[in-house]
Structure 1
């Protein structure tokens, strides 16, 4: 996390984020929970997340941790690149 993201207002990340091929779908819910599907495997990963500026910290229900950053409307989550899915897409 950069100093700039720590001082910036928290961005709104709530919604569905998907990889370009649609294989990975990550729902970031308003209750600070996430649910990630991979291919046909629904709820492959679930847990909670917190947002500081444009930085996201994830804690999986198993205790695994990960991070992400939103830059120019794109979510860079570890090795993944996800795009916000618009309603009706």
Structure 2
């Protein structure tokens, strides 16, 4: 007896699993491949983003390095890599997701100034 799945999500995974059975892959492989392609596209876009690079407070105490792979590395005083995580820029707004679960955001006021958490950072 054949079961019919009415949920579009179940239909997708069932179809992917059946297709994968013929090729030796699974529905999870199909989803993972799609996620990997999206991540690579995002990374390629970020590599060309104008805000990539080092952003520093005037006193040099806080330093944000926005990496081309969508990750950031923040140093505080003598503490290198005090915070690390991922970021996303939409227009002039940046969202941060620290690896420990902390979130923050900021705004690029012009091409050389970032307002973040009550601080002003400038491009270096």
CA RMSD of aligned residues (A): 1.4
Structure 1: tracts of 5 or more residues without a match: 1-10
More helix by share: 2
TM-score, scaled relative to structure 2: 0.59
1:25 aligns with one of 42, 50, 63: 63
Q: Quick check: which has more Rg, 1 or 2?
A: 2
1:77 aligns with one of 92, 111, 116: 116
Taking the aligned partners of 2:53 and 2:102, their CA distance within structure 1 comes to 22
More strand by share: 1
Deviating runs (4+, > 3 A) in structure 1?
none
Taking the aligned partners of 1:23 and 1:78, their CA distance within structure 2 comes to 14
Taking the aligned partners of 1:18 and 1:42, their CA distance within structure 2 comes to 13
Deviates more, 1:73-82 or 1:41-50: 73-82
Across the two proteins, how many residue pairs are aligned to each other? 76
Instruction: Please list, as runs of the form range in 1=range in 2, the aligned pairs for 1:3-82 lying within 5 A after superposition.
Output: 12-72=50-110, 73-82=112-121
